[in-house]
Amino acid sequence: MATRPRKLTHSDAAGRPAMVDVSGKQVTAREAVAECRVRFPAAVATQLRAAAMKSAKGGIVETAIIAGTMAVKRTHELIPFCHPLPIDGCRIAIDWSGTTILNIECVVRTTHRTGVEMEALTGATVAALTVYDMCKALSHAIVIGPARLLGKHGGKRDFGKRDFGKAGK
């Protein structure tokens, strides 16, 4: 059986930009997890580990978690066609993956007619940008990315693994 190609959803019949109408969808529990990585030069990673991820501006991880959570709640103000959603839960976990990579995972949950993939991606990437901002005095060779959706559940189609790792707890 051949599958029909999918089409982009954020345009109307005339091809103009439009918000998706979700009024006919079922209200269901939905969740999404996204990650973003921050790669440091080796000397910077060593320095940050030695300082327990603290800077003159404050706790780097703690500040990134707060910024990421705030971004999740404001995603609809940043991405033009995102619906404002009630956020039932948001968890951000930040931990080292190897010696030079900081992994940021963001899990977002809602009970609504549309999913929270963009909220999870926004939370993870804004947390990564916050880490960069707080560490850029040490090096401008810090690299952000990749950012990616790891999974989503609820709604029409599930994607990715169900285990949402550290941030899901």
Query: With 0-12 CB in 10 A as exposed, 13-18 as middle and 19+ as buried, what is 167?
Result: buried
Residue 97 · residue 37 · CB < 8 Å = yes
Please calculate the CA angle 166-148-35 and round it to the nearest 5 degrees.
Answer: 25
Residue type, 39: R
Active site (annotated) includes residue 95? no
If we measure between CA atoms, which residue out of 56, 157, 150 comes closest to residue 103?
150
Q: Dig out the tokens for 24 from the structure.
A: 């006919």
- Burial tier of 35 (Cβ tally within 10 Å: 0-12, 13-18, 19+): buried
Cα separation, 117 vs 55, in Å, equals: 31
Question: Which member of 12, 88, 133, 163 is catalytic?
Answer: 133
Catalogue the active-site residues: 133
